[in-house]
Amino acid sequence: MDGDQAGPEWRRLQRTSRKGIKPLNITDLRVAIIGHSPVIRITTDEGIDGLGPVAIPRAGHIRWHVPFYKEHIVGEDPTDVERVMLKIRRMGAFKPWGSAVSGIEIALWDIAGKAAGVPVYKLLGGKVRDRVRTYNGRIRFPMSGTEPQDYADNMAKMKASPENFTIIKQGVAFHSAMAREIPGFFLGETEGRGDPMYHPLRGPLSERGLKHTIACVEAMKDVLGDEVGLALDCGPGLTASDTLRLAQLLEPFNLMWMEDTVTGDYSPEVNPDLYLQVTPHTSTPIHTGEQIYLARNFRELIEKHAVNVVGPDCGDVGGIAEMKRVAELADLHGILIAPHGIGVGLIGLAAQVQVAAVLPDNYIAFEYSTGEPSWWYDVLEGLPSPIVKDGFIDVWDTPGLGVHFNVDETRQYLSDEDAGFFDN
């Protein structure tokens, strides 16, 4: 076909090829805390901007942490995502110190997709699935207590949630109030151990604590049956021997996984050798990884087969391309992936959908994230309604992450400190 016979789109591509693609330039890097969710915005000289989540809700440190990277990226072409990331990737660390770098990376992909007129998944290799499974680790109802019946009642509410999740994760042991509220739950101290949000408790379980945990799991499984999978968020804080004992005793319940038992949330290390005291000796799948920064720090965990499931968080691991690297490495070693994502908000949810669409067949589901307060659903546009249908999200095809703010509606929720967030 020659130029006279070709259509206008072919001629446009020919002109672009001859003249080259005009580069964009980053003009600014900004951050605002909108409701409970910190958001990164990168602006360019062509008026295309990109949004990225910060995975630590309401974290004030991001006001100085994100701007630290500004001088390193202003003037760069944001569509050369890897070139920009090479300048800043080495300046992140384990949770929560990888969140700024991760959010910047996601915002770069958002710009690259918008500039190319395609969804981000097209730039990551193209989708292998049209809908992605998501699991419930976020939609919660107040617990009335920490007894088995309290867990059963709470699980019944989550099972009845209109999203019809096929997997629900619930916190037990050190990732719950059990350790503080059940007398003699473990052989350690609770006084003076800091904010429970950061899960500072650790130590050997008592026999009472072990039996109580098992009773609560049994109560939840009685509610879920074999219709909905149950995953447990367990710590970190368990010893390797207690993890093994608990995992073996829970084998009859066919759990999806036991997450972050020995290490995990806010742990500054990986410790695969500790997990090797557990994983080869139980049929209960063992899961960890939400705090780990960069694929290279998953390498030993994966190559040693220290766990059955890895759970990087796109908002902590270094971004969505980094998550894809983790998934591909895990797939080569027969290890599954169930990405973490409870704190990334609705922009992070959009990023999770884009990367989940391209992951290998070792993908299970990613953790659902919500907008808080509820007015987030009024100010962020582009998400489907309803978002989740029978535990899945349909992958949308709009450019970039496919979401954007209604700026006029959002301005009313900006603090005085963030008033200029949307200024060009």
Measure Cα distances from 87 to 61, 84, 90, 105, 397 in Å. Answer: 21, 6, 7, 11, 30
Tokens of 251: 């084998």
pLDDT score of 21: 66
- Rounded to two decimals, the pTM is 0.94
pLDDT score for 3? 44
32: helix, strand or coil: strand
pLDDT at res. 20: 54
Alpha-helical regions (H) of 117-239? 120-123, 148-159, 178-181, 207-224
Gap between the Cα atoms of 166 and 164, Å rounded: 6
Query: What pLDDT was estimated at residue 195?
Result: 83
List, in sequence order, the alpha helices (H) in 59-172.
62-65, 70-73, 81-88, 99-116, 120-123, 148-159
All structural domains of the chain with their residue ranges? 26-118+408-418, 123-404
HSE-CB at 307 with a 13 A cutoff on CA atoms is: 32
List, for the chain, all residue ranges whose pLDDT scores fall below the cut of 70: 1-21, 58
In order of 129, 155, 306, 349, 396, the CA distances from 231 in angstroms are: 23, 12, 18, 20, 28
CATH topology classification for 123-404: TIM Barrel (3.20.20)
Residue 198 has what pLDDT? Answer: 83
* Strands ordered across the beta sheet of 366-367: 366-367, 131-135, 392-394
Whole-number Å distance between alpha carbons of 180 and 187: 12
Question: For 26-118+408-418, which CATH class?
Answer: alpha beta
Q: What is the pLDDT of residue 149?
A: 98
| pLDDT of the residue at 10 | 41
Q: What is the DSSP letter of 42?
A: E
Q: What is the pLDDT of residue 14?
A: 43
CA distances 173 to 100, 168, 261, 392, 418, Å, are 30, 17, 9, 29, 39
